[in-house]
Structure 1
Amino acid sequence: MKNCFNYLHLQDLIVQKGDLMKTKYVVLLALGLLLLVCSRDTTKLEKGTPEYEFAQKISEKVPYFNPDQNNVVATSKDFRVTTGEVLKNIFSNMGKGVTRFYSLDSLKLKEVLKNSAKEYSDKKLLLVAAEKAKIELPPAKFDSIMQMQYRRHGSREKFVEILTKNGVGIEFVEQQIKESVIIEQFLNQVLSERVKPTEEEILQAYNSDKTATVRHILMQTQGKSESEKAAIHNKMEGILKRAQSGEDFAKLAMEFSEDPGSKTKGGLYENFGRGDMVKPFDEAAFSVPVGEISDIVETTYGYHILKVESRSKETRPLDEVRPELEQKFEQTKRRDVYFQYLEELQKETQFKLTEF
């Protein structure tokens, strides 16, 4: 009932004159009206709206997102998230771009919707936690952030014009920016101590390899079905055997790699720092012995095979590089700490995603 009209408004509905029975009756009537208003599902999409039509098309392939059912996709002690909320958020965020969803097959669409539901629910979880921690965004700071956005696009009018052309409303964008800043402030407050490195961690980072040079072969799996990914993995196994048997790795990369950034250079990436690459790739680059070839490594891009060419350590004095090490350590650790904290928050609030 927290989001319904103020309970004190009931006083305006109570008859102050008349007998006791009449007053009791009116009070009960008022309470009934209150329950009726509060029980109405405000997240359900209204028929005849563009969001409802979008949901109807989506539900043809993923029935769980039927707008008339408005099924639950996540729950916690503080809130629940419905399919209507998720689809409305997608529609408001993408505007005319939602037509891209219509060409997806049912399996891919279901995967996209699951990810969208999780992202939206995680965000709501953090916003509720930020509200409890009394995190607020001063109007002056928000105005400053928006003015920066307007200047970046020429003016507020031009910014609104760009959004309108894409079917996105300025009110939605402003709300998204506001919520993102509030979450950032909240996480900075909660995670600041957790990401600070200890002296032992600083020394370990200083004495570890600083950069790596590798060659790699990538075969992309983004947007592929499970059967397609299995076929790609089998192909990569064949390439790995050829590399392990002594074939020229650079030539194999030029022949098979699908990475446009390194294919013509024989798969070469030179002197990149620890943490610069996606985590599985980074871990292989800094753990596989120099001169050796990795097993097949999977990232969000696809399947990789790495050959480590060389690694180098820091040559500057520790005191000189300490601030840099601290900053990089915090940036690297922040992602892990964030997911750890999110998991703690989910357990604390009994957060649960619905399988559909």
Structure 2
Amino acid sequence: MKKYVIFPILAVLLLVSCGKKEKTSLQKGSPAYKLASAVSVKVPYLSPGKNNVLISTKDFKITSDDVFQTLYASSGNGAEQLKAMGADRLKQVMEQTAANLAEKKLLLESAKKAGVSVSEAELDSSLNQQYKHAGGKEKFMGFLNKRGIDPDYVKNDIHKVLIIQKYLDKELSGQTKVTEADIQKAYKEDKTATVRHILLLTQGKSDSAKKAIRKKMEGILARAKSGENFAKLAKEYSEDKGSKENGGLYKDFGRGRMVKPFEEAAFNTPIGQISGIIQTRYGYHILKVINRKKETRPLKEVRGELERQIKQQKQKEAYNAFIKKLKKDAGFKAIDF
């Protein structure tokens, strides 16, 4: 079965659980309620007493209580880490989790309408794969028990994942065929890029704050293009903790490793030149291309690798276009809070 949503099941259980049409209401005194109460001190909109809507569609809503319930059910005591997060990071996690819950609910409902089902044998096979990956059923159950996760919840979610995967396989398989022309084109393209970049974060910021951040980035870009040392500017201004102290350097990364707008700039901006302002879900970036490299191995040696990479990219693009249409048809709306 092709994997259009590629991830270990246990790592993303929180993304595939689908709520009922009626609002989830957290039981007062429950672990999820206590968690919601604790974090709502930093973000009042998330108060369990309010149970505010985070995502709305024509047919259902995802509320803050839905998200807290799912986080606790899927992550167990691991959900407690939310208490240590700042307000901006909390908002990011809640927004992304709510969006993922809604997307997976849309997929599951569409799959059921299409008559897609999963047999007990298929479910057992997937469970056995999980046991094997964990080093055996006993270790798998120990993993869940240690984190306070209900095994029945896990089994139910794996069942949902399998339904969605089978549905996507049916709907999108015709869009992911890899041709010889695809392989030849990929082989001739630059394989890796080395850049220095500067990031100013906008996640969780208001529209007015984002405008101010963009204006700040425009000033940094002007200084970089006037000839100031890019690495020094990155050390001074970049908010990317992974590269800031190294002058914003990202060395020899391949295609598919960075978010799409960043990747496009890295592989299309002339070597030695500085890009314009790039907007991603993280914020505003500018980058300077240091170098790019092509594949040096013979085509016959890398053909299989290229084919897998191209297929994965086509699957990703097909999935993104498909979920975008589902969301549009459903009247998907994320609530700003």
Give TM class, smaller chain.
Answer: 0.7 to 0.9
Which position in structure 1 is the counterpart of 2:149? 168
Which position in structure 1 is the counterpart of 2:56? 74
2:317 is equivalent to residue 336 of structure 1: yes
Assess if the C-alpha contact under 8 Å between 2:26 and 2:48 holds in 1. no
Matched AA of 1:74:
S
Which position in structure 2 is the counterpart of 1:130? 111
Measure, in 2, the Cα distance between the counterparts of 1:96 and 1:149: 21
Show the 5 A alignment for 1:35-54. 43-47=24-28, 49-54=30-35
Assess if the C-alpha contact under 8 Å between 2:23 and 2:66 holds in 1. no
Which position in structure 2 is the counterpart of 1:307? 288
The one of 217, 234, 247 equivalent to 2:197 is 217
The one of 193, 197, 202 equivalent to 2:174 is 193
Which position in structure 2 is the counterpart of 1:352? 332
Q: Specify every segment of 5 or more residues in structure 1 that has no aligned partner in the other structure, as ranges.
A: 1-39
Give the 3 Å change call, closer, same or farther, for CA 148–64 of structure 1 in structure 2.
closer
Which position in structure 2 is the counterpart of 1:87? 68
Give the 3 Å change call, closer, same or farther, for CA 64–233 of structure 1 in structure 2.
closer
Measure, in 2, the Cα distance between the counterparts of 1:76 and 1:196: 34
Which position in structure 2 is the counterpart of 1:181? 162
Shift of residue 92 of structure 1? Answer: 1.0
2:213 is equivalent to residue 246 of structure 1: no
Aligned length: 314
Matched AA of 2:198:
L
Which position in structure 2 is the counterpart of 1:279? 260
TM-score (norm 2): 0.72
Give the 3 Å change call, closer, same or farther, for CA 75–319 of structure 1 in structure 2.
same
Give the 3 Å change call, closer, same or farther, for CA 251–110 of structure 1 in structure 2.
closer
Shift of residue 120 of structure 1? Answer: 0.9
Assess if the C-alpha contact under 8 Å between 1:212 and 1:273 holds in 2. yes
Give the 3 Å change call, closer, same or farther, for CA 271–98 of structure 1 in structure 2.
closer
Measure, in 2, the Cα distance between the counterparts of 1:181 and 1:44: 28
2:276 is equivalent to residue 295 of structure 1: yes
Measure, in 2, the Cα distance between the counterparts of 1:71 and 1:267: 38
How much identity, in percent, do the aligned residues show? 43
Which position in structure 2 is the counterpart of 1:96? 77
TM-score (norm 1): 0.69
Shift of residue 153 of structure 1? Answer: 3.8
Structure having greater relative contact order (Cα 8 Å, sep ≥ 6) = 2
Measure, in 2, the Cα distance between the counterparts of 1:181 and 1:221: 36
Assess if the C-alpha contact under 8 Å between 1:219 and 1:232 holds in 2. no
Name which one, 1 or 2, has greater alpha-carbon Rg: 1
Measure, in 2, the Cα distance between the counterparts of 1:107 and 1:75: 25
Give the 3 Å change call, closer, same or farther, for CA 114–239 of structure 1 in structure 2.
closer
Measure, in 1, the Cα distance between the counterparts of 2:252 and 2:334: 44
Which position in structure 1 is the counterpart of 2:127? 146
Matched AA of 1:124:
K
Aligned-partner SS, 1:123: helix
Shift of residue 238 of structure 1? Answer: 4.3
Give the 3 Å change call, closer, same or farther, for CA 324–248 of structure 1 in structure 2.
same
Assess if the C-alpha contact under 8 Å between 2:99 and 2:334 holds in 1. no
Measure, in 1, the Cα distance between the counterparts of 2:305 and 2:84: 46
Shift of residue 341 of structure 1? Answer: 0.7
Aligned-partner SS, 2:174: coil
Assess if the C-alpha contact under 8 Å between 2:201 and 2:239 holds in 1. no
Shift of residue 186 of structure 1? Answer: 2.0
Q: Specify every segment of 5 or more residues in structure 2 that has no aligned partner in the other structure, as ranges.
A: 1-20
Shift of residue 41 of structure 1? Answer: 5.2
Shift of residue 283 of structure 1? Answer: 0.7
Give the 3 Å change call, closer, same or farther, for CA 269–54 of structure 1 in structure 2.
closer
Measure, in 2, the Cα distance between the counterparts of 1:178 and 1:150: 15
Which position in structure 1 is the counterpart of 2:10? none
Measure, in 2, the Cα distance between the counterparts of 1:72 and 1:234: 29
